[in-house]
Amino acid sequence: MSGWVTVAGLGPGAEDLVTPEVRAALEEATDIVGYIPYVARVPPREGLALHASDNRVELDRALQALEMAAEGRRVVIVSSGDPGVFAMASALFERLETAPEFADTDIRILPGITAMLAAAARAGAPLGHDFCAINLSDNLKPFDLIERRLRHAARGDFAMAFYNPRSKSRPHQFARVLDILREECEAGRIVLFARAVSTPEEKITVVPLSEARPEMADMRTVVLVGNTSTRRVGRWIYTPRGTVAAGTA
């Protein structure tokens, strides 16, 4: 039997946001590989081996999956959200690039509901017009590049979604991000903190930029920032579809 590696997105947390495609892959798998809390979301069953590892070992985990596939195993690497958005898909290809012996591995990437879209849906439609997604972790890139991207995103009047805004090892950095935004954007710009969306711990907080505080975010939070047109209607937040009056369209 020939093995394979599938990188699957489990969505933000709720079971009814896992696609049938991903569910089918989990049912065919012999092995599940991934970060501890994501592997914990896969129901155990006989014949299924669970290989949970800590974070920051993404390349080791990718190699483990490629090695098991070469032995004929059916391996699913699980990611939260979508595997192609700041998750395991890139790490797999990064590892594959330096391991030509695995070049012929049967690989599939299965998309999932990424956190920013689940958060946006809960709040209304804050990403309803052009937007950027930025990973605020400087684990793998210098903060200067983050700052450059923030300024371009603001000057292009993009809405923004921030992943990994804050962690115990980077407590001060998100304060700098907010300072940069305050230099580039008006005080009333809408900022949305969405924690653990679609789980029992879900919490959504909406504030103007002037009232945004670093401690409103942690590693389970995705932060959305509106563009200059983003507004409230009742309890909802939305960004209009364009800047030209739509008439009856």
Q: Which residues pair with 205 in a beta bridge?
A: 193
Q: Which of residues 144-173 bind a second copy (CB under 8 A)?
A: 145, 148-149, 151-153, 155-158
Minimum CB distance to a second copy, residue 135 (Å): 6
Residue (40 or 57) nearer to a second copy, CB: 57
Q: Is 241 in the site for a second copy (CB under 8 A)?
A: yes
Q: Is 17 in the site for a second copy (CB under 8 A)?
A: yes
Q: Is 202 in the site for a second copy (CB under 8 A)?
A: no
3-state secondary structure of 97: helix
Q: Which of residues 52-71 bind a second copy (CB under 8 A)?
A: 56-60
Among 48, 51, 70, 90, binds a second copy (CB under 8 A): 90
What DSSP string runs through 118-141? HHHHHHEETTSSSEEEEE---SSS
Separation of alpha carbons 70 and 200, rounded Å: 39
CB 62 within 8 Å of CB 51: no
Residue (27 or 213) nearer to a second copy, CB: 27
Q: Is 187 in the site for a second copy (CB under 8 A)?
A: no
Count of helices and strands (H, E) across the chain: 7, 13
CB 21 within 8 Å of CB 9: no
Among 13, 64, 68, 129, binds a second copy (CB under 8 A): 129
